[in-house]
Chain A
């Protein structure tokens, strides 16, 4: 955990140079912002900017830290999670975008007032604010805790630094600044990832070509991209990707203001649609590429020494515990397996060696599982809990130990750019929703646009401080990341259901939807507390419940009205 030996001056210059340039560029480019620029990005954004902005918002730092680690451990199957995305993009282009544009809304929830009533709009906005407000903190915290563990940086300081950098340009330039900076951030992200990929392949032994590397990965089961099984215990299959993925992406891209705000800044309906289609075309290959980086890291470690567990804090905690000898024994066995595999694979992969490689991989996996159990045992007797699942640490370990000086700084800039781009979209969306859906709609006097811009700036600052505060206290809770996912699942389905009712079921009116949404929310929270369903299914249940309840309530209220008239 020696920070100085990990980063050279050149790394610091590249890291801070890149980040400060982006912040300064975003602030400078939007210094003459109009109200329209601040709130809606000026309605002149081109499709490629929208496309990049939408991708940058979704790709958080965890995407670049965790996804290669996911491929390292479990192969390429995670890409199936995104199979529903293009379908969702097309549905949003066909239905959501034309309506949002025609009504010239600032936020997605404004449409709900137009279609239903004020109380439904406010309810959806509040549900969004609770969920996204917490999520913004975790967007900062999740990569910060990994970087602080591997680099020895102060976690609190890192949380505050990331938050302040984002606040500077988001407060100053609003929506326009978010999309302007996201273009630079995506350039840094793509550039860095391509260079990393090239260098990993380049650092393989001379006889190991890219094709041979793929064969080695294949022999270790890392190249099984598609899974057509109907096994419910498999999280990533073609079917969960297409069915569950479509549903999830539809709620995220169609009703979450942090995404809606990106494509509402489009010059025209056509530009907004093209921006989303750009995402629909590139998202699957992009995720495939990030996973392939992880697979190549796996092949790299077939020829180079790797730790039993990639989390450096785990090793440190164990060496101060009574389990040290037991863990060292596992590490020695792991080194023996690595050496045997290295000898086997140096001349490339031969079909006759497949069974032997598979057996060695299974033994190694068993050792790693044993290692995790020891870490968990250490956790039982320690106040500070160490993450035993090391998938988030694989890629950063590779970067810090194997990339040349300068490039380490660039790759850290990739990770921090990704944190900043997602956080900026979140703060921007939280501020617009607070300003337009709650503040503007509930103040009696009509104020000028300038006044709402000023208030949006204050709200951006307020949400920035809330996000930093959540990030700073996140470490005190055992499973805060999971808690945020649970909160998301509790609210997301209900909100999507409200939007689907608005778009597709014309005879249902505001009162029925509002009552149905309140009942659904109460039921979903109860179901979660009674632990009747795994929390990911609460999304689907919430959506179906609110739609069905609203239709039933509408039916009975119509019947009542008819009786009264008669």
Chain B
């Protein structure tokens, strides 16, 4: 196999991770709000 070309980390990956972290945070507040 040829030497592999490196593919760097992209800003979009960070955006996706942050967005999903925000979803989980929202779910956390929903859970807290509706649980006694």
Q: Which residues of B contact A79 (CB under 8 A)?
A: 27
Contact between B27 and A225, CB atoms less than 8 A apart: yes
Cβ contacts B3-24/A at 8 Å (1 or 0 each): 0110101101101110110011
The secondary-structure label for the interface of chain B is helix
What is the number of contacts between chain A and chain B, taking CB atoms within 8 Å? Answer: 71
A94 and chain B: residue at smallest CB distance: B7
Contact between B30 and A90, CB atoms less than 8 A apart: no
Measured between C-beta atoms, what is the minimum distance from B28 to chain A in Å? 6
Contact between A223 and B34, CB atoms less than 8 A apart: yes
A89 lies within 8 A of chain B by Cβ: yes
Q: Which residues of B contact A224 (CB under 8 A)?
A: 31, 34-35
Contact between A218 and B33, CB atoms less than 8 A apart: yes
A343 to B3, CA, bound (A): 72
> Which residue from B12, B19, B34 sits with its C-beta under 8 Å from A274?
B12
B19 and chain A: residue at smallest CB distance: A281
Contact between B16 and A215, CB atoms less than 8 A apart: no
Q: Which residues of B contact A90 (CB under 8 A)?
A: 13, 16-17
Interface size on A, residues (CB 8 A): 35
A226 lies within 8 A of chain B by Cβ: yes
Are A285 and B24 also in contact (CB < 8 A) when A90-B17, A223-B34 are? no
Contact between A93 and B13, CB atoms less than 8 A apart: yes
Most buried by A among B4, B16, B19, B35: B16
* Residues of A109-123 whose CB lies within 8 A of B: 114-115
Contact between A94 and B9, CB atoms less than 8 A apart: yes
Contact between A226 and B1, CB atoms less than 8 A apart: no
> Which residue from A86, A214, A223 sits with its C-beta under 8 Å from B31?
A223
Q: List 26 A-B contacts (CB under 8 A).
A: A76-B27, A86-B16, A86-B20, A89-B16, A93-B13, A94-B7, A94-B13, A98-B7, A99-B4, A114-B1, A215-B34, A223-B33, A224-B34, A224-B35, A225-B28, A226-B24, A238-B24, A269-B7, A273-B12, A277-B12, A277-B16, A280-B16, A284-B23, A288-B23, A288-B27, A354-B36
- 13 further interface pairs, Cβ-Cβ under 8 Å (given A94-B13, A354-B36): A87-B17, A90-B17, A102-B2, A115-B1, A214-B34, A217-B34, A218-B35, A225-B27, A225-B28, A226-B28, A277-B16, A281-B15, A281-B19
